[in-house]
Chain A
């Protein structure tokens, strides 16, 4: 069974640039879960304050636990948000592993942004990004 359920990059205006989830009938539910997690992300960003913004850690940690999933968040300096949702029953994934997954995701996202033909704000349609995400999902399954 896959562990990572969805991945999202949000542009600063909070609409999804990329959503990937394990094929399942309750995809919509994951979308809602990720959407609601933005409440916590925004609150965390806003409470850090401007002065601290520079030394703020990008990884936000566990956003909130639900009965079924754990939702983790990560925000880049340009306020692009990444969210990973993991099945609650999966205990093999440690905080450190989640952190490194986000870092990989961030690197890959940077590569996408460096593509001169990519228009920031458009949905991500990059094969490299796709395969990186797929690899990550297989790895953590």
Chain B
């Protein structure tokens, strides 16, 4: 028996397909036949009918049909299912034999060919004697056939051929060998398929017909056999629903069989087969839950059917295989589109298969540990004459035997011995590992990381048992960190123990040390005595000696390992190891801390390193060194003592280099930081602890950063949460949990001892030269050298502020864009103790808003630290936020000579420009002067002169001035023109005389200028008097190039009588002026409205009289008649 005895036979696992034999094809030498064969079998796609074709020679001998039994009365079956049966029906007994024959309807030798064909058919029929297999004939023809019915010769000859061959008309086919070969072939095979289905249908009926002859006492086996066969034929017929039904019946029947030790294997084997078929069909029908339920039922039923106790391993092997094949089926179904879930996936079945395989291995170890002198029995009891069994699941030495007791106890014994000896050679570990790795792949897919790790541990352990230590170590090392990060110490310890054994057996020094260190440490759950043993071994290794063997190791491997270790010891060199411990939980813990997060450069940097051992025995180390980011300091952070050979285990309370378990040791280091490192960070890059000695073997434990390992972060967190009162420890002793790591510190400059004061009057006014006085006073005991001042806008603010802020020391000139926003390193010189200096700084802010200004004073000092002279720079920063506001607001207005608001002005008509300067500054503003700079499109009526010169405006006060202007003619009637600009020179009232004045420019608004065709202005006295004649001249000016007709009328008024033209129409020549004289005679005193003058321009109807009226005064003040004013009346 081969080791694959438990594998399911391939004919069981394949998908059964109807078997059709093709004869009469010469596929080797005949190209046409070859092409036909290829069309049948090459590239069969899924949509073609499920047939398996085979080419057989015409005189092929088919398996002989046994003579049919007429009665079952005296028949006792010898087993359930014959081993050859499935194969016979899949590959040997065809459902249809097709004879290919080259014959055209108009063949010259038709008669001869017809009889030759008939002979061939007869040969096939003879060979199939007793079977229901039908024969069909296919005529290969060169010519394309005519449509049916048209070829009379053809139908005649076809009938004749059928007759000669004893064929029904349905079994004769014509295959024209033309272009559409594949199409013809597909039609042919569909016809074959129908024949095949009929054949299998008949077979099923034949098997079923036996049933009535069977009785339940002697023919139990046959019930199972017949149901299985019916199921199988149904599958061949592609009737999977019925197949499933029959298999299910077969399954329940197989468990009804009387089971005893001798036939247990046979029953289980068949149950396994049928179960496989059922599960397979359930998956195929897309009812996976049915498959799972069936499998569970199967396992529950068979779990306890162990059979012979001496061959218990057979049962576990069989169980393992059941799970494995179900896993395979499940996996296959998934590949075809089924979705599995986390809790129901093939992985579980592979895992269970592995589990049984492990059990099998144990049982094999127990049952097959024969004395070496027990030899394999001869003749071989498991060998049969044919080389194979007749029935599935039977014993070779008693085939066909069905009674309860074995026929020959001696033979039985021999057979069992033979099986046991064979089991010994089975590569159990290989099987287990293969199953486990299958399971790992599945669990990886279904998001079960922990299950995956667990199985990998099992794989590693199995590799260890199989003595493949390299692979074992690789797997274990891979998963170890998962358990470490999840803090499952019990599991980690168990894995570490196996890993330690592997590394011992391979003589891997570094791994051995690493695992030992963790196993004696605090994460290990080993007992104290086990830890002690491992620690002693570790110390041996550190002293370059051979460690004691690990417990429970294979003696042969131990011997080999001892040789390896002896070689390692004698071999010099490469005896230095560095273990990066932060990924482990080593037996020595380390915490390093700087005493403060920052140190001034004039004080020494202090660093403490705390060490603590968790192992059972004290440990002595050779060297402790701290590496810092600036390596120059490393020399100050080193503890070293020549390790003296043997005394490594002695616990000397005085020994500086000895760690007593459970006690925290502190090492203090101190150094002076270099002045170049001011402003830089000093970091602990690593802490190294050297164990062993340099001339023997030494191990560096390397902690990255300031110590800590895989477990310490969580411990620190727990400790920080704890309410437990820390017990007061005596001097020199430290509570480990109270120490926290501080792995970096800053070197900062010395504390300055100077004062910086600022004097100024906020807020700043925009554009002014804002003055800030900086006063620096030294409070140092010695002279402060190289005092420099950096002042101005603090960097890092809005970029626009940099452009709109200018700083200077020079008060005499207004600074412009060329000046920087920050003046750096203004040398101030040396400062004697107590001395005070002042600097004035002028700032010009062009835009408003708040700004932060920085005043940075730095100087150098000489001082002594720890007996070392150093020169250090100190600096003091002072910042101030200054708001900038506008000093005043300027409002500009255009008004008419009547102080009416104007939205446009008229050519050559005078108007007024009004300026209002409203102070917004909290400080008084002194207006030095103002100036009007007119654009060319404006002209002053007289010489403009500043009216606000020398005015001082308090907060909220307003200064106004006014200029009379006129616009020269413009082209094309209307246009918008610039008015020019207005310049105000001013400064703060409080500043000194030499401070330059600030010039603020106000751009005057644009105004629309319009040409009018007619201009009217009146000439009249400034007041009138009641009953005194008031002469008024109206000047009407034609400003166009054409003659104008003007209607003029004067409306009557209650307040005046008047003389002059009341209504007139006149013509005014281009460019000339017409004068109208009226004599008004006021009747009432006070402000009186003048009689309205209506002017209508006939040519320019859009120029209304209202518009023109705006140029004329509307009213006049009339004084009352004086007492002695009669004379004047008379005079009038």
Binding site for B on A (CB under 8 A): 13-16, 19, 28, 31-32, 35-36, 38-40, 43, 63-64, 66-67, 116-117, 119-122
B460 to chain A, nearest CB (A): 13
Contact A39 B491, beta carbon cutoff 8 Å: no
Contact A39 B714, beta carbon cutoff 8 Å: no
Asked if A28 meets B348 with Cβ closer than 8 Å, knowing A39-B447, A39-B450, the reply is no
Contact A36 B450, beta carbon cutoff 8 Å: yes
- The CA of A34 and the CA of B447, in the complex, are separated in Å by 16
- The CA of A14 and the CA of B714, in the complex, are separated in Å by 12
Task: Identify A39's interface contact among B352, B448, B490, B721, CB under 8 A.
Answer: B448
Q: Which chain B residue has the least Cβ–Cβ distance from A68? A: B355
By a CB distance below 8 angstroms, the chain A residues around B714 are 13, 15, 121
Task: Identify A28's interface contact among B342, B490, B721, B723, CB under 8 A.
Answer: B490
A108 to chain B, nearest CB (A): 21
Contact B343 A15, beta carbon cutoff 8 Å: no
- The CA of A119 and the CA of B723, in the complex, are separated in Å by 7
By a CB distance below 8 angstroms, the chain A residues around B457 are 32
Q: Which chain A residue has the least Cβ–Cβ distance from B352? A: A67
Q: Which chain A residue has the least Cβ–Cβ distance from B494? A: A28
Chain A CB within 8 A of B480 CB: no
Chain A CB within 8 A of B449 CB: yes
- With A116-B723, A119-B724 known, 7 other A-B pairs at CB within 8 A are A13-B714, A31-B490, A35-B488, A64-B348, A66-B352, A121-B714, A122-B718
By a CB distance below 8 angstroms, the chain B residues around A31 are 488, 490-491
- The CA of A16 and the CA of B489, in the complex, are separated in Å by 9
- Interface residues in B690-732 by Cβ distance below 8 A to A read 714, 717-718, 721-724
By a CB distance below 8 angstroms, the chain A residues around B454 are 32, 35-36
- The CA of A122 and the CA of B723, in the complex, are separated in Å by 12
Chain A CB within 8 A of B451 CB: yes
Contact A63 B343, beta carbon cutoff 8 Å: yes
By a CB distance below 8 angstroms, the chain B residues around A67 are 299, 352, 355
- The CA of A121 and the CA of B479, in the complex, are separated in Å by 24
Contact B723 A35, beta carbon cutoff 8 Å: no
Contact A15 B447, beta carbon cutoff 8 Å: no
A86 to chain B, nearest CB (A): 16
Contact B448 A117, beta carbon cutoff 8 Å: no
- The CA of A102 and the CA of B781, in the complex, are separated in Å by 75
Contact B491 A35, beta carbon cutoff 8 Å: yes
- The CA of A116 and the CA of B718, in the complex, are separated in Å by 14
- The CA of A120 and the CA of B724, in the complex, are separated in Å by 12
B715 to chain A, nearest CB (A): 10
- The CA of A9 and the CA of B74, in the complex, are separated in Å by 68
Q: Kindly supply a per-residue 1/0 record for chain B positions 460-490, scoring 1 wherever the CB is within 8 Å of any chain A CB and 0 otherwise.
A: 0000000000000000000000000011101
By a CB distance below 8 angstroms, the chain A residues around B299 are 67
Contact B723 A16, beta carbon cutoff 8 Å: no
By a CB distance below 8 angstroms, the chain B residues around A121 are 714, 717-718, 721
Sample (15) of A-B pairs whose CB atoms are under 8 Å apart: A13-B714, A14-B486, A14-B487, A16-B488, A31-B488, A35-B486, A39-B342, A40-B343, A43-B342, A66-B348, A67-B299, A67-B355, A119-B718, A121-B721, A122-B722
Task: Identify A35's interface contact among B348, B447, B450, CB under 8 A.
Answer: B450
Asked if A36 meets B352 with Cβ closer than 8 Å, knowing A116-B723, A121-B721, the reply is no
- The CA of A16 and the CA of B483, in the complex, are separated in Å by 12
Q: Kindly supply a per-residue 1/0 record for chain B positions 334-351, scoring 1 wherever the CB is within 8 Å of any chain A CB and 0 otherwise.
A: 000000001100001000
Binding site for A on B (CB under 8 A): 299, 342-343, 348, 352, 355, 447-451, 454, 457, 486-488, 490-491, 494, 714, 717-718, 721-724
Top 10 closest pairs, chain A to chain B, by CB: A15-B487, A39-B448, A36-B451, A119-B722, A64-B343, A36-B450, A39-B450, A32-B454, A36-B454, A121-B718
Task: Identify A43's interface contact among B348, B447, B487, B723, CB under 8 A.
Answer: B447
Q: Which chain B residue has the least Cβ–Cβ distance from A39? A: B448
By a CB distance below 8 angstroms, the chain A residues around B449 are 39
By a CB distance below 8 angstroms, the chain A residues around B448 are 36, 39-40
- The CA of A59 and the CA of B366, in the complex, are separated in Å by 43
By a CB distance below 8 angstroms, the chain B residues around A122 are 718, 722
Contact B723 A120, beta carbon cutoff 8 Å: no
B94 to chain A, nearest CB (A): 45
- The CA of A28 and the CA of B714, in the complex, are separated in Å by 24
- The CA of A31 and the CA of B714, in the complex, are separated in Å by 21
By a CB distance below 8 angstroms, the chain A residues around B721 are 119-121
Asked if A40 meets B717 with Cβ closer than 8 Å, knowing A14-B486, A31-B491, A64-B348, the reply is no
- The CA of A32 and the CA of B486, in the complex, are separated in Å by 13
- The CA of A16 and the CA of B488, in the complex, are separated in Å by 7
A109 to chain B, nearest CB (A): 17
- The CA of A129 and the CA of B299, in the complex, are separated in Å by 39
Q: Which chain B residue has the least Cβ–Cβ distance from A38? A: B450
By a CB distance below 8 angstroms, the chain B residues around A119 are 718, 721-724
Contact A39 B451, beta carbon cutoff 8 Å: yes
By a CB distance below 8 angstroms, the chain B residues around A63 are 343
Q: Which chain A residue has the least Cβ–Cβ distance from B319? A: A67
B311 to chain A, nearest CB (A): 21
Q: Which chain A residue has the least Cβ–Cβ distance from B299? A: A67
Asked if A15 meets B490 with Cβ closer than 8 Å, knowing A36-B448, A39-B447, A67-B352, the reply is no
By a CB distance below 8 angstroms, the chain B residues around A28 are 490-491, 494
By a CB distance below 8 angstroms, the chain B residues around A35 are 450, 454, 486, 488, 491
B702 to chain A, nearest CB (A): 26
By a CB distance below 8 angstroms, the chain A residues around B447 are 39, 43
B303 to chain A, nearest CB (A): 8
By a CB distance below 8 angstroms, the chain B residues around A16 are 487-488
Contact B494 A117, beta carbon cutoff 8 Å: no
A59 to chain B, nearest CB (A): 16
- The CA of A12 and the CA of B721, in the complex, are separated in Å by 16
Task: Identify A40's interface contact among B342, B488, B724, CB under 8 A.
Answer: B342
- The CA of A63 and the CA of B341, in the complex, are separated in Å by 12
- The CA of A39 and the CA of B444, in the complex, are separated in Å by 11
B540 to chain A, nearest CB (A): 28
- The CA of A120 and the CA of B450, in the complex, are separated in Å by 25
* Most B CB within 10 A of own CB, among A39, A40, A121: A39
B735 to chain A, nearest CB (A): 15
By a CB distance below 8 angstroms, the chain B residues around A43 are 342, 447
Q: Which chain A residue has the least Cβ–Cβ distance from B342? A: A43
- The CA of A28 and the CA of B449, in the complex, are separated in Å by 18
B464 to chain A, nearest CB (A): 15
By a CB distance below 8 angstroms, the chain B residues around A117 are 723-724
By a CB distance below 8 angstroms, the chain A residues around B717 are 121
B307 to chain A, nearest CB (A): 19
Q: Which chain B residue has the least Cβ–Cβ distance from A47? A: B342
* Most A CB within 10 A of own CB, among B447, B451, B718: B451
Contact A15 B486, beta carbon cutoff 8 Å: yes
- The CA of A14 and the CA of B484, in the complex, are separated in Å by 11
A120 to chain B, nearest CB (A): 7
By a CB distance below 8 angstroms, the chain A residues around B342 are 39-40, 43
Contact B450 A15, beta carbon cutoff 8 Å: no
A18 to chain B, nearest CB (A): 13
- The CA of A31 and the CA of B486, in the complex, are separated in Å by 13
- The CA of A14 and the CA of B724, in the complex, are separated in Å by 24
- The CA of A16 and the CA of B722, in the complex, are separated in Å by 18
- The CA of A35 and the CA of B448, in the complex, are separated in Å by 11
Q: Which chain B residue has the least Cβ–Cβ distance from A63? A: B343
Q: Which chain A residue has the least Cβ–Cβ distance from B717? A: A121
- The CA of A15 and the CA of B717, in the complex, are separated in Å by 14
A17 to chain B, nearest CB (A): 10
- The CA of A120 and the CA of B352, in the complex, are separated in Å by 38
A21 to chain B, nearest CB (A): 11
- The CA of A121 and the CA of B491, in the complex, are separated in Å by 19
Q: Which chain B residue has the least Cβ–Cβ distance from A122? A: B718
* Most A CB within 10 A of own CB, among B299, B447, B450: B450
- The CA of A19 and the CA of B724, in the complex, are separated in Å by 24
- The CA of A7 and the CA of B997, in the complex, are separated in Å by 90
- The CA of A9 and the CA of B491, in the complex, are separated in Å by 16
A23 to chain B, nearest CB (A): 15
By a CB distance below 8 angstroms, the chain A residues around B487 are 13-16
